[in-house]
Amino acid sequence: MRKNIVAGNWKMNTTVPEGVQLAKDVCAAVAAEIGDANVGLAAQNCADHTSGAYTGEVSAPMVASTGANYVILGHSERRGYYNESYEMLKTKVDLALENGLKVIFCCGESLEERENGSFKEVIGAEIRDSLFHLTAEQMANIVIAYEPIWAIGTGKTATSDQAQEIHAFIRGLLADQYGAQVADDMTILYGGSCKPSNAPELFAKPDIDGGLIGGASLKAGDFMGIVTAF
């Protein structure tokens, strides 16, 4: 059975006191709305090495030692600004899983790729080249987030039909590689200018199992407006 998840990506925002307050507000609101504070903690990245002379990097064991449950990998900002390749992400995925972290693996096309029609090819390659070496058992610890780059932080959301088309496409790739069970069990999130006003329509689609939320996750009220959209 796949899980519905709404994940917040705070990016490089909040000081420690601000972050603690935001986390407290979200936990309190989740507990009040859902009755059970089913909240996990995620890092936004981890290193492609376990330890050693990599100044400034944070390893998967370090992330796990904080009590985090998840790590976001392959966000387009990491791929774009820090040149994270498919191969590097494959290593990061392995290290995260070896250290007991679940991975929220991001994929998605640029505006140019959407417009020139290569978007399915791009998304397919991102998923295949960084994830398809995993076993079916390991895939149970992966969540996929489809995030069209043209919709991230732009206020321009993919329509629910556009998002559904890609989510179904991703589920089809998983079915071809791993069979129907793995495909059916995979949680696939949508990310890109998701907010309380458009979340209900997106989450109503059969292959959209929740969201990865950037800007709107920085206000507990907006974030909860999305959580309660299910």
Residues identified as active-site: 75, 147
Out of 123, 194, 208, 226, name the contact with ligand PEP by CB under 6 A. Answer: 194
Residue 32 Cβ vs ligand PEP, minimum distance, rounded to whole Å: 23
CB of 223 to ligand PEP, least distance (A): 10
Minimum CB distance to ligand PEP, residue 154 (Å): 7
Which of 192, 210 has the CB closer to ligand PEP?
Answer: 192
| Candidate ranges 12-20, 78-86, 91-99, 190-198; the one touching ligand PEP (CB under 6 A) | 190-198
Tell whether residue 9 is a contact of ligand PEP (CB under 6 A).
Answer: yes
Q: Are 229 and 208 in contact (CB under 8 A)?
A: no
Query: Pairing between strand 188-190 and 42-43?
Result: unpaired
Closest CA to 121 of 176, 87, 83, 169: 169
Residue 113 contacts residue 150 (beta carbons within 8 Å):
no
Which residue in the set 74, 108, 148, 215 belongs to the binding site for ligand PEP (CB under 6 A)? Answer: 215
| CA gyration radius, the chain | 17
CA–CA dist 144, 105 (Å, integer): 5
CA distances from 99 to 65, 92, 103, 162 (A): 9, 11, 11, 35
Q: How far is the CB of 216 from ligand PEP (least distance, A)?
A: 6
What mask, x for binding ligand PEP by CB under 6 A, covers residues 126 to 165?
A: ---------------------x----xx------------
Which residues have CB under 8 Å from 111's CB, separation 6+? 149, 150
The binding site for ligand PEP (CB under 6 A) comprises: 9, 147, 152-153, 191-194, 212-216
